[in-house]
Amino acid sequence: MSTSEQGESEPQSNAAEQQEQTIRTGPDLFDWGAKTYVMGVLNITPDSFSGDGLGADIERTMALAREFVANGADVLDVGGESTRPPKVYDGVEPVDADEELARVIPIIERLSSEIDVPISVDTRKSSVARAAVGAGAAIVNDVTMLGYDEEMASTVGELGVPVVISHIRDRARYVDVVGEVITDLIATVHRAESAGVARSSIILDPGIGFGKTAAHSLSVLRNLAELTNLGFPVLVGTSRKSSIGAVLDLPVDDRVEGTAATVALAIASGADMVRVHDVKEMARVAKMSDAIVRRWSPQK
């Protein structure tokens, strides 16, 4: 079922306008359509699904952040709570706001004072989002589709920062996964706007792996153009995800080629930003993909 069959045509009417607009994040500017932006993942947790949790080691985190920027990261995404589903992974425990703040605020303060790229905070809690923006973060990335904390939408609207709205469901049950992802995201856009979030501040994420089987995630990627055609900037996070493991039968730390394939094809379908763990490799993939998709030509 296409989006037109769902009766949700309002965002499509503004597609041209959305593609031309820019989003300001502090001193930085995203020029959507000019390139694919690379978001490097900094997991300030002991239990990251990808095995790259940095814990409380600020100096190690800073070193990795500098390495990411040197290798092509345009954004750094700082998260203090694992988003792996506890029903799937043993040892995953929710983190309260105080603990999450203790993890992310010191590193965000250091990053914002020493590194000149926008910082995103990956959180589902409005109190953490508010404190993180106060500490220097420029983007809020909420993997719960603004659904976990009822204050998140109004908080983001008040802060006036860009927000990544990532699709998620509690259960991987769909009749039409692509159509339902789009319908859910559009409904959340309307709710966010009603809470004071500017339409020009919204970035959509199809939520690969969140409340989706491998087959669901592959279907969303296969039909990603239906989402990118809505006129909002689109972020795609496939890095090391279980759908890649399901296809290649490889562990989390051996999925770089699979990630590269998904990144390249997402860019070909119109993705504006990719969230990745392997920044050097994926920045190269993005640059090569952009050369093809965005018609790069050598300077004479």
What is the mean predicted confidence (pLDDT) over 93-110? 92
Q: Provide the residue range defining the domain that includes 51.
A: 10-289
- Which pTM was predicted? 0.87
The answer to the question of residue 300 being in a domain is: no
The answer to the question of residue 167 being in a domain is: yes
Q: What is the DSSP string of 115-161?
A: --S-EEEE-S-HHHHHHHHHHT--EEEETTTT-S-TTHHHHHHHHT-
The answer to the question of residue 298 being in a domain is: no
* pLDDT of the residue at 185: 98
The answer to the question of residue 260 being in a domain is: yes
Q: Look up 35 and say whether it is catalytic.
A: no
What is the mean predicted confidence (pLDDT) over 99-118? 95
Residue 150 in this model has a pLDDT that exceeds 90: yes
The answer to the question of residue 5 being in a domain is: no
> Which of 130, 212, 255, 275 is labelled catalytic?
275
> Which of 124, 212, 241, 255 is labelled catalytic?
241
Bigger pLDDT: 178 vs 57? 178
How far CA 182 is from CA of 71, 80, 232, 236, in Å, comes to 33, 28, 12, 14
Q: How many domains does the chain have?
A: 1
Residue 94: pLDDT band (50, 70, 90) is confident
The answer to the question of residue 278 being in a domain is: yes
What is the mean predicted confidence (pLDDT) over 53-70? 85
d(Cα 2, Cα 178) in Å, to the nearest integer? 8
Q: What is the CATH number of the domain that holds 136?
A: 3.20.20.20
The answer to the question of residue 143 being in a domain is: yes
Write the pLDDT tens digit of every residue in 221-233. Answer: 999 999 999 999 9
How far CA 163 is from CA of 154, 159, 192, 232, 285, in Å, comes to 11, 10, 10, 12, 25
Q: Look up 275 and say whether it is catalytic.
A: yes
What is the mean predicted confidence (pLDDT) over 185-196? 98
The answer to the question of residue 297 being in a domain is: no
